Amino acid sequence: MKSYLAAAVQMTSSPNLEQNLAQAEELIDLAVRRGSELVSLPENFAFLGQEEAKIAQASQIAVSTEKFLKTAAQKFQITLLGGGFPVPAAENQVYNTALLIGPNGQELSRYQKVHLFDVDLPDGNTYLESKTVKAGNKLPEIYKSEELGNLGLSVCYDVRFPELYRHLSKQGAEVLFVPAAFTAYTGKDHWQVLLQARAIENTCYVLAPAQTGNHYAMRYTHGHAMIVDPWGVVLADAGDAPGVAVAEISPNRLAQVRRQMPSLHHRMFG
């Protein structure tokens, strides 16, 4: 593993697939111009609209998005995470799928979101992800890269389930992806502290690309795409507007923190 720059992209995606992919490409370009070799896109980056529309367009979204990710990774010569997009699973259901693509356009890792967001919030919004999304049934695997380190995938609501990240750290994870479309209501209180907790307890870097702003109707997301270091320090925060958070991933810093706080060696259970 070498020192390199990574980017967590922040978008305001909409129900328009073509516009979303164009926005994503502009922000990938921005991240690359700032020196990023590893770029991560948020959950729902390709489509963020009504559930009925998502199901109706799922096949088109899946095909177009996978082609986009492979083409963009090759064009910009980066490793690219598409942090969650619908892939048809069964009748009227999709997998919320995160896909990691290498600079040669080849698939490196694929993860189907396991924890589904079925929550009735006090702000008047009800989310029932399981109505249209089929839960994955496998824990994510680590992608081991000599240059970028050991990369572990997750998606959004997973961040509230520390056992998933403990599984990744036991496999040797050094960088954890948490692409999200975190609600504005929960994000203001929980987003940053959850990311810091996952970084600290696993002594890993966390890359958390995010959605921000108003997407359609009453759907608002929190923003604040960020990169957190293994000590829990927020290295970069994209704020409230579309953009990128860029920071260095350093093997020396990772080793230093793991020497100072060797908690991964002190685990008693699991």
**Residue 77: how many other CB atoms lie within 10 Å:** 11
Q: Given a cut of 90, is residue 125 above it in pLDDT? A: no
At 269 the pLDDT is: 86
263 falls in which pLDDT band (50, 70, 90)? very high
Q: Mean of the pLDDT values across residues 195-217?
A: 97
Over the stretch 13-55, which tens digit does the pLDDT of each residue have? Answer: 999 999 999 999 999 999 999 999 999 999 999 999 999 999 9
Domains in the chain with CATH codes: 4-265 (3.60.110.10)
Residue 238 — pLDDT band, cuts 50, 70, 90? very high
3-state secondary structure of 248: strand
Per-residue pLDDT band for 241 (boundaries 50, 70, 90) equals very high
Residue 91 has what pLDDT? 86
pLDDT-derived band at 215 (thresholds 50, 70, 90) equals very high
Quick: pLDDT tens for 145-161: 999 999 999 999 999 99
pLDDT above 90 for 167: yes
**Distances, alpha carbon 44 to alpha carbons 31, 55, 172, 252, 255, in Å:** 19, 13, 28, 33, 34
φ/ψ bin of 149: left (φ > 0), alpha (ψ from -120 to 50), beta (otherwise)? left
| Position with higher pLDDT, 67 vs 126 | 67
- The catalytic residue positions are 43, 113, 156
The reported pLDDT for the residue numbered 124 is 77
